[in-house]
Structure 1
Amino acid sequence: MTQTPARTDVLVVGAGPAGSAAAAWAARAGREVVLADAAVFPRDKTCGDGLTPRAIAELQHLGLEEWVRGHTVNNGLRAHGFGQTLELPWPGGSLPSWGSAVARTELDDHLRTTALKFGAVGVEGAKAVDARVEGGRVRGVTFQRDGETFEIECERLVVADGVRSGLGKVLGREWHKDTVYAVAGRCYVDSDRSDDPWISSHLELRGEEGEILSGYGWIFPLGGGQVNVGAGTLATTKRPAEVAVKPLMARYVEECREQFGLRGEARMATSALLPMGGAVSGVAGRNWALIGDAAACINPLNGEGIDYGLETGRLVVEQLDTDLSVTWPALLKEHYGEAFSIARRLAGIATVPRVLPALGPIGMRSDFAMTLALRWMGNFVTDEDRDRAARVWRWAGRRSIAIDARPPFS
Structure 2
Amino acid sequence: MSQPPTSRPTSADVLVVGAGPSGSAAAAWAARAGLDVLLVDAATFPRDKTCGDGLTPRAIGEMQKLGLEDWLRAHTVNHGLRAHGFGQTLLLPWPGGSLPDWGSAVARTELDDHLRTVAIESGARAIDGTRAVGVRRDGERVASVELRDADGSYEVACQWLVGADGVRSPLGKLLGREWHRDTVYAVAGRAYVDSDQSDDPWISSHLELRDEQGDLVSGYGWIFPLGDGTVNLGAGTLATSRRPAEVAIKPLMQTYANTIGKDFGLAGSLRMPTSALLPMGGAVSNVAGPNWALIGDAAACVNPLNGEGIDYGLETGRFVAEHIASGTGLGEAWRSTLVEHYGESFSIARRLAGIATQPKVVAALGPAGMRSDWLMTLALRWMGNLVDDADRDRAARVWRWAGRRSIARDARPPFQ
TM bracket, shorter-chain basis: over 0.9
Is 1:11 the equivalent of 2:15? yes
Whole-Å separation in 1 of the counterparts to 2:88 and 2:140:
57
Instruction: Give the superposition deviation at 1:147.
Output: 4.6
Which segments of structure 1 move beyond 6 Å, counting only runs of 4 or more? none
The residue aligned with 1:344 is 350
Q: Is the 8 A contact 1:190 1:264 kept in 2?
A: yes
Whole-Å separation in 1 of the counterparts to 2:358 and 2:283:
20
The residue aligned with 1:354 is 360
Instruction: Give the superposition deviation at 1:323.
Output: 2.7
- SS of equivalent to 2:137: strand
Instruction: Give the superposition deviation at 1:36.
Output: 0.3
Q: 1:334 aligned to 312, 316, 340, which one? A: 340
The residue aligned with 2:214 is 210
TM-score, scaled to structure 2: 0.98
> Counterpart amino acid of 1:332?
L
Instruction: Give the superposition deviation at 1:322.
Output: 2.0
Number of residues paired by the alignment? Answer: 410
- Give matches, 1:291-370, under 5 Å: 291-320=295-324, 321-370=327-376
Instruction: Give the superposition deviation at 1:216.
Output: 0.2
Whole-Å separation in 2 of the counterparts to 1:353 and 1:96:
34
**Which one is further off, 116-125 or 319-328?**
319-328
The residue aligned with 2:198 is 194
Whole-Å separation in 1 of the counterparts to 2:313 and 2:229:
28
**Which one is further off, 349-358 or 374-383?**
349-358
Whole-Å separation in 2 of the counterparts to 1:245 and 1:359:
24
> Counterpart amino acid of 2:86?
F
Is 1:281 the equivalent of 2:285? yes
Q: CA-atom RMSD, angstroms?
A: 0.7
Whole-Å separation in 2 of the counterparts to 1:272 and 1:353:
22
Q: Identify unmatched segments of 5+ residues in structure 1.
A: none
Whole-Å separation in 2 of the counterparts to 1:113 and 1:323:
27
- SS of equivalent to 1:324: coil
Whole-Å separation in 2 of the counterparts to 1:353 and 1:228:
25
The superposition leaves residues 276-320 of structure 1 with CA deviations (integer Å, 9 ceiling, x where unpaired) of 000000000000000000000000000000000000000011111
Is 1:237 the equivalent of 2:241? yes
Instruction: Give the superposition deviation at 1:255.
Output: 1.2
Instruction: Give the superposition deviation at 1:4.
Output: 2.3
The residue aligned with 1:152 is 156
- SS of equivalent to 1:195: coil
> Counterpart amino acid of 1:208?
E
Whole-Å separation in 2 of the counterparts to 1:295 and 1:4:
29
Give the percent of matched residue pairs that are identical in Structure 1 and Structure 2: 73
Whole-Å separation in 2 of the counterparts to 1:241 and 1:314:
34
- Give matches, 1:238-257, under 5 Å: 238-257=242-261
TM-score, scaled to structure 1: 0.99
The residue aligned with 2:272 is 268
Whole-Å separation in 2 of the counterparts to 1:99 and 1:344:
24
The residue aligned with 1:134 is 138
- SS of equivalent to 2:216: coil
